[in-house]
């Protein structure tokens, strides 16, 4: 068992090292897009399925509440949290529309929309990002594997370079924490 633990921790360190080497400039760009969005009166909308839905909620909680610094709350919504909306849309329009319908209702030009997908191929995230771009929103994908079809549907794609879903999710939450820390420092220090 110790060997397996050691192996998994080594895989984690390897992925995080690749995130540092390959994605640091894109993480900085994501922070810049967030700062610009908030400074110009826009809001952040974040979506994902399963573990990525949990990451979307975590990200938004850090933005609306706080990460480390006492500061005012910033406008952000996790599109995966309202079970009444999700089940109504899923029932009436189909699961592929659960995020698109919310983007239709909530997103305006100047907002920033983040789609999280470990595979990069979640149809409902892909469709919602496409509509967000049509509405004049800037779009970011937090993706895994090879970025899938979503990498081309967003303005900025941060692709955690591994096919191992748990390692992708660990990369995503690490990126989210770095972004939240830098956002607070840039906007409130």
Find out whether 38 and 74 touch, Cβ atoms under 8 Å.
yes
pLDDT for the residue numbered 134: 98
Mean pLDDT by 10 residues, the chain (189 residues): 96 97 98 98 98 98 97 98 97 97 98 98 98 98 98 97 97 98 97
Rounded to whole angstroms, the Cα distance separating 84 from 90 reads 10
Superfamily of domain 2-188: Glucose-6-phosphate isomerase like protein; domain 1 (3.40.50.10490)
CA angle 58, 132, 158 (to 5 degrees): 55
CA-nearest of 135, 126, 178 to 20 is 178
pLDDT for the residue numbered 174: 98
Determine how many CB atoms are found less than 10 A away from the CB of residue 182: 18
Rounded to whole angstroms, the Cα distance separating 97 from 5 reads 39
CA dihedral 159, 162, 165, 170 (to 10 degrees): -70
Domain spans in the chain, listed from the N-terminal domain onward: 2-188
For tokens 């748990």, the residue is: 166
Find out whether 113 and 138 touch, Cβ atoms under 8 Å.
yes
For tokens 């850090």, the residue is: 62
pLDDT for the residue numbered 168: 98
């Amino acid at each position: 068992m110790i060997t397996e633990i050691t192996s998994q921790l080594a895989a984690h360190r390897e992925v995080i090292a690749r995130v540092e080497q390959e994605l640091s400039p894109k993480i900085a760009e994501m922070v810049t897009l967030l700062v610009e969005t908030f400074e110009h009166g826009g809001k952040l909308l974040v979506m994902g399925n399963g573990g990525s839905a949990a990451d979307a909620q975590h990200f938004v909680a850090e933005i609306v509440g706080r990460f480390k610094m006492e500061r005012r709350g910033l406008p952000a919504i996790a599109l995966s949290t309202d079970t009444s909306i999700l089940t109504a849309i899923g029932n009436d329009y189909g699961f592929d529309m659960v995020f698109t319908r919310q983007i239709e209702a909530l997103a305006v030009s100047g907002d920033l929309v983040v789609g999280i997908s470990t595979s990069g191929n979640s149809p409902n995230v892909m469709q919602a990002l496409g509509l967000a771009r049509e509405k004049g929103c800037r779009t970011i994908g937090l993706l895994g594997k090879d970025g899938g079809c979503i990498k081309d549907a967003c303005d900025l794609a941060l692709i955690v370079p591994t096919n191992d879903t748990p390692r992708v999710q660990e990369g995503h939450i690490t990126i989210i924490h770095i972004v939240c820390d830098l956002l607070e420092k840039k906007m409130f220090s």
